[in-house]
Amino acid sequence: MKDKAKRLKNLKGSFKAEHPEKVKGRNIILIDDVSTTGATIYEASSVLKKAGARLIIPIVVAR
């Protein structure tokens, strides 16, 4: 799925912060192996932000 809107919709709810207390106030480095639309990084970042992450630094290995 290269269409970003479809990809975002497909990933909605795919990630969960099991222990938000471990994320709250922390800086997080989020690594994705391949990024096509950026939807995975976007959705995972959203969950981490809602869990209270202070800063999220996304890193993509290949594009």
Q: Per the structure block, which two tokens stand in for 9?
A: 């919709």
| Nearest residue to 61 (alpha-carbon basis) of 41, 36, 27, 33 | 33
Tell me the Ramachandran region of residue 43: left when phi exceeds 0, alpha when psi lies from -120 to 50, beta otherwise.
alpha
The pLDDT value recorded for residue 2 is 58
Residue with tokens 């990630």: 15
Q: What is the pLDDT of residues 6-60, one digit of tens each?
A: 877 888 888 999 999 999 999 999 999 998 888 899 999 999 999 999 999 999 9
Structurally, the chain folds into a number of domains equal to: 1
Which residue range forms the structural domain that includes residue 22?
4-62
